[in-house]
Amino acid sequence: MKKILFITTIILSLTFCSTWDTRLVLVNNTQNRISYDFDIMDIKDTLPSLEYCKESKPYYINSMSEKRIQSQNNFDGLKNPQDPPEEILRIFIIEEDTLTKYGFCTVYKNPKLYKRIDLTYDDMVKANWRVVYNGK
């Protein structure tokens, strides 16, 4: 009984100490399955880092469905009184067949192969934490 209580306490502690932010929802409003990646980046950086592109594992969203973006960084950290802000959330959306054909490294080197959505904290709040991808 003590072991069960101890394990339960550990699990609850880890759950409540979690720093994951899951408020943002990405909606795929297309007929195709898409892959996506995201990063909180300096506003001056327009391309994703290629340092780990070979090891990158995409996230997928089936057609006409949605998925919560789970970030270890709290999106509240993007609140910034400066205009323009110093950091921004960038979501990179890649058609599944494009990613399969070229891989992350090649896709990220060619901005024509992906769609980039830039979001400030205010943008996310105004959109009620929902980003809709229509394929355009």
Residue 9 placed within a domain: no
Examine residue 84 and state whether it is found in any structural domain, yes or no.
Answer: yes
Look at residue 24 and tell me if it is in a domain. yes
Higher pLDDT, 69 or 58: 69
Asked if residue 15 belongs to a domain, the reply is: no
Is pTM beyond 0.85 here?
no
* Residue 45: domain span: 20-133
Confidence of residue 23 (pLDDT cuts 50, 70, 90): very high
pLDDT tens, residue by residue, 84-98: 678 899 999 999 999
Total domain count, the chain: 1
What is the edge-to-edge ordering of all strands in the sheet holding 65-68?
A: 65-68, 25-28, 130-133
Task: Decide if 4 is inside a domain.
Answer: no
In a domain, 6, yes or no: no
Domain of residue 126, CATH code: 2.60.40
- Residue 46: pLDDT band by 50, 70, 90 thresholds? confident
Do the Cβ atoms of 33 and 58 come closer than 8 Å?
no
